[in-house]
């Protein structure tokens, strides 16, 4: 029942259709997806391992680069690997509510085709030959739904594959799962009236992040090893951080955007990007190289004609004699402990400190403190340019079905100070402020060079929190500054896992005086966050 005939359905009826389609796709997986406990524990991260056969666990917990090597050599068959991930994705859905539909028939047909090709020709189809890849739902797959989290859009179907999907197919990937996204796509959580809340598998009372939260939770449960998300304010990095996986926000102009469903398509002030999430750093690199080696800029003139450069030794540069060995200098890392607006929670600061301690103990690294430049002003610019129409398109799309506004949709669209539709001259004025801010931030970067002003001695990379805290309770991810900052600057950003919250180590800040209302809100979250062992951080 994909097409509606007759009178308009209620939003609840449409949601039931969406969930029935999802559940039917999981029921079609063979062998049958095992049942999960009716009342699962808060931390369900280990349950798939207990519910699935050992061989299936071994496949789904292997790194994507290991799977690709086995598939290309014929040691693994794509049909078996795809079947393993379909089963584990079904379990993941029942535990974290992270899947909008599985694609067992299409995925297994594609996997057989790839296995047959390898058997007949002895060579893989491409660098991702036979590897199952999951995709966030608003990225078009021909013939499938394309709703951007809006109930009113659920009956829409994609006429063609998104450009990124075309590149994945050419690289030999098997598309097998589509993942949840929030109403409007503009949440750092993932909740919609179509599917409900996607939760963190390490603590189901917390959010998986957003807006690519379905990808994050699916990877966190190892129902996927490589997936595709999109990011305009943290939508890849927030889920990666909350679920303990890797996530890359590339610079704009690197990967094509054609075929994504969203409101305000065509606005160029703060542009979204697509990028990978993976259970390994190797998976991130493999994804980027596989797609950029196809030279997508030959089909999309908006892209930068720049290959993936993974063969350069970034430590072996300089040669000014103040580094280590053969004239190479140390990699200079600026450490941003907080952004001057909201102080991170203790577990985030501890994780950052642990990384710095590891780096200080190794040759080839130099650490300096990074002084943020007006990150509060950056949010003023972002807030104006995210919704230059005042949120009119989002409002129309929500109201068209009569569905209720989710709390974080209301927060980002209706509760931001000064939210209004901008005139064309006002858009130009805010765009000039964006460009000026980028210049000033670059000046701050260049000022980190040595006294002689040699730009080769400036900071190479910034190490900073991925967010103001670990995964927050549902409907509480209200501070975007640690991720959206880099969207405004259009810097590439990679999230990598470090540690988990430990309530015995990560007590609340004693006698802390918040810097502002946003900081006070974030500080209070320390006392709201429940832990699986029933401990809470007390304020």
Give rounded-to-5 percent helix, strand, coil for the chain: 40, 15, 50
Residue 506 above 80 pLDDT?
A: yes
pLDDT at position 5 is 45
Is pTM, for the whole model, over 0.85?
yes
Let me know: does 230 contact 248? Beta carbons within 8 Å. Answer: no
C-alpha–C-alpha distance, residues 469 and 487, integer Å: 19
Based on the number of CB atoms within 10 Å of its own CB, is 355 exposed (0-12), middle (13-18) or buried (19 or more)? middle
pLDDT at position 324 is 42
Residue 320 above 60 pLDDT?
A: no
Residues 6+ apart with CB under 8 A from 457: 318, 320, 329, 332, 449, 450
Least confident segment among 4-8, 296-300, 453-457: 4-8
- Tell the residue number behind the tokens 């931390």, with chain if given: 43
Let me know: does 96 contact 215? Beta carbons within 8 Å. Answer: no
Q: How many CB atoms lie within 10 A of CB 119?
A: 10
Instruction: Report, as an integer, the average pLDDT of 338-354.
Output: 96
Beta bridge partners of 389: 421
Closest CA to 187 of 230, 241, 235: 235
C-alpha–C-alpha distance, residues 254 and 217, integer Å: 25
- Residue 183: band (very low, low, confident or very high) from pLDDT cuts 50, 70, 90: very high
Q: Take residue 510 and report the two structure tokens written for it.
A: 């004693």
Q: Take residue 391 and report the two structure tokens written for it.
A: 């949120």
C-alpha–C-alpha distance, residues 303 and 291, integer Å: 12
Closest CA to 458 of 348, 325, 332, 371: 332
C-alpha–C-alpha distance, residues 535 and 503, integer Å: 7
**Mean pLDDT for the chain?**
92
pLDDT at position 508 is 76
Residue 59 above 80 pLDDT?
A: yes
- Residue 418: band (very low, low, confident or very high) from pLDDT cuts 50, 70, 90: confident
pLDDT at position 129 is 98
- Residue 538: band (very low, low, confident or very high) from pLDDT cuts 50, 70, 90: very low
Beta bridge partners of 138: none
Residues 381-408 have pLDDT tens digits of: 999 999 999 999 999 999 999 999 999 9
Residue 321 above 60 pLDDT?
A: no
Residues 86-138 have pLDDT tens digits of: 999 999 999 999 999 999 999 999 999 999 999 999 999 999 999 999 999 99
pLDDT at position 316 is 62
pLDDT at position 314 is 63
Residues 6+ apart with CB under 8 A from 42: 203, 204, 205, 530, 532
Let me know: does 26 contact 33? Beta carbons within 8 Å. Answer: yes
Residue 326 above 80 pLDDT?
A: no
Domains of the chain: 11-249+258-298 (3.90.1300.10), 331-528 (no CATH)
pLDDT at position 452 is 61
Closest CA to 522 of 362, 347, 369, 345: 345
- Residue 315: band (very low, low, confident or very high) from pLDDT cuts 50, 70, 90: low
Residues 468-484 have pLDDT tens digits of: 999 999 999 999 999 99
Least confident segment among 3-7, 242-246, 419-423, 483-487: 3-7
- Residue 512: band (very low, low, confident or very high) from pLDDT cuts 50, 70, 90: confident
Residue 319 above 80 pLDDT?
A: no
φ/ψ (deg, to 5) at 56: -70, -40
Instruction: Report, as an integer, the average pLDDT of 40-58.
Output: 97
pLDDT at position 235 is 98
C-alpha–C-alpha distance, residues 38 and 40, integer Å: 6
Residues 129-181 have pLDDT tens digits of: 999 999 999 999 999 999 999 999 999 999 999 999 999 999 999 999 999 99
Report the chain's C-alpha Rg in angstroms.
23
First to last CA, the chain: 51
Return the sign of the alpha-carbon dihedral for residues 204, 207, 211, 213: negative
Closest CA to 537 of 348, 357, 354: 348
Let me know: does 134 contact 176? Beta carbons within 8 Å. Answer: yes
User: What SS3 state is found at 355?
Assistant: helix
Residues 217-244 have pLDDT tens digits of: 999 999 999 999 999 999 999 999 999 9
The two most distant CA atoms of the chain are separated, in Å, by: 77
Closest CA to 183 of 208, 204, 152: 152
- Peptide bond between residue 148 and the one before it cis (omega within 30 degrees of 0): no
- Tell the residue number behind the tokens 């402990």, with chain if given: 337
Instruction: Kindly report the length of the chain.
Output: 539
- Residue 537: band (very low, low, confident or very high) from pLDDT cuts 50, 70, 90: very low
pLDDT at position 507 is 79
Active site residues: 136, 211, 235
């Amino acid at each position: 029942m994909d097409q509606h005939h007759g009178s308009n359905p209620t939003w609840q009826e449409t949601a039931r259709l969406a969930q029935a389609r999802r559940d039917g796709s999981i029921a079609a997986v063979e062998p049958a997806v095992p049942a999960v406990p009716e009342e699962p524990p808060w931390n369900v991260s280990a349950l798939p391992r207990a519910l699935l056969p050992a061989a299936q666990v071994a496949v789904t917990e292997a790194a994507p680069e290991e799977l690709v090597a086995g598939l290309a050599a014929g040691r693994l068959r794509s049909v078996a690997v795809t079947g393993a991930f379909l089963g584990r994705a079904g379990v993941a859905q029942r535990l974290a509510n992270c899947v909008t539909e599985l694609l067992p028939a299409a995925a297994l047909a594609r996997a057989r085709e790839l296995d047959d090709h390898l058997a007949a020709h002895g060579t893989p189809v491409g660098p991702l030959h036979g590897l199952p890849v999951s995709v966030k739902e608003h990225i078009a797959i021909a013939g499938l739904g394309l709703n951007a989290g809006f109930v009113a859009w659920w009956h829409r179907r994609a006429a063609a594959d998104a450009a990124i999907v075309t590149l994945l197919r050419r690289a030999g990937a098997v598309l097998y799962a589509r993942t949840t996204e929030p109403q409007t796509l503009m949440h750092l959580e993932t909740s919609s009236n179509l599917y409900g809340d996607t939760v963190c598998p390490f603590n189901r009372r917390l959010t998986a992040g957003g807006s690519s939260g379905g990808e994050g939770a699916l990877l966190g449960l190892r129902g996927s090893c490589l997936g595709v998300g999109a990011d305009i304010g943290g939508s890849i990095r927030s889920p990666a951080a909350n679920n303990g996986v890797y996530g890359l926000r590339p610079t704009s102009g690197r990967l094509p955007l054609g075929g994504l469903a969203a409101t305000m398509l065509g606005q160029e002030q703060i542009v979204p990007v697509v990028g990978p999430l993976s259970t390994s750093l190797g998976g991130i690199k493999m994804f980027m190289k596989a797609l950029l080696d196809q030279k997508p800029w030959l089909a999309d003139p908006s892209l930068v004609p720049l290959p993936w450069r993974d063969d350069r030794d970034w430590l072996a540069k300089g040669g000014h004699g103040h580094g280590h060995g053969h004239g190479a200098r140390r990699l200079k890392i600026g450490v941003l402990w907080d952004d001057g607006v909201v102080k991170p929670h203790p577990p985030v600061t501890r994780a950052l400190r642990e990384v710095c301690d590891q780096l200080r103990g190794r040759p080839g690294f130099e650490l300096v403190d990074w002084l943020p430049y007006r990150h509060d002003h950056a949010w003023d610019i972002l807030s104006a340019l995210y919704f230059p129409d005042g949120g009119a398109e989002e409002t129309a799309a929500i109201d068209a079905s009569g569905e209720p506004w989710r709390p974080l949709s209301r927060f980002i669209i209706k509760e931001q100070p000064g939210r209004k539709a901008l005139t064309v001259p006002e858009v130009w004025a805010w765009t000039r402020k964006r460009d000026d801010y980028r210049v000033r931030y670059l000046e701050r970067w260049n000022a980190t060079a040595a006294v002689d002003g040699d730009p080769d001695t400036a900071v190479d990379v910034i190490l900073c929190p991925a967010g103001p805290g670990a995964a927050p309770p549902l409907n509480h991810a209200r501070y975007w500054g640690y991720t959206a900052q880099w969207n405004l600057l259009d810097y590439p950003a990679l999230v990598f896992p470090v540690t988990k919250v430990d309530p015995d180590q990560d007590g609340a800040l004693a006698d802390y005086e918040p810097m502002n209302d946003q900081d006070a809100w974030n500080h209070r979250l320390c006392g709201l966050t429940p832990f699986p062992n029933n401990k809470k951080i007390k304020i």
